[in-house]
Amino acid sequence: MLYRVRAVLAALWGGLLVCVAAVAAPSAFAMLERAQAGKLVARVFELDAQISLGLGLMLLMVERRLQRDAAGPVMTPNLLLPMAALFCTAAGYYGIQPLMEAARAGQGAWSFGALHAVSSLFFGLKTLAVLVLAWRASRAPA
């Protein structure tokens, strides 16, 4: 049962991230004035960060339980992948986002564009980690 829960959670999380990156953000900038689109996308990324924290923690708990029940190794790729995604969420949204706001106001050492690139890198790495986890979780347990 927990194997299915892990697979569903990872697939939902991966789908959310792909939808944000491929549908929500580009659509907002295609349809709205730049400032309005920026506000909308900022809200979408805020929700993504909150949901990512919740799903990541749930996946960590599920994976720890699966490893404990199987008396397997403590650190596995299926545990490291959500940990990496959680790190990318914390660093990318909660670390970089406040710096981006300061850069937009003309403060800080880094430009908004440079911080946006770093934030995009963290989001891309998070998406990759979650999609790899979803792929691994979709396989039948050994």
Residue 140: is its pLDDT beyond 70?
A: no
Q: What is the mean pLDDT of residues 120-142?
A: 91
CB–CB of 81/129 below 8 Å? Answer: yes
Task: Quote the pLDDT of residue 141.
Answer: 66
pLDDT in tens, 69-121: 888 787 888 999 999 999 999 999 999 999 999 998 889 899 999 999 999 99
Q: Where are the domains of the chain?
A: 2-136
Task: Quote the pLDDT of residue 74.
Answer: 79
* Mean pLDDT score of the chain: 94
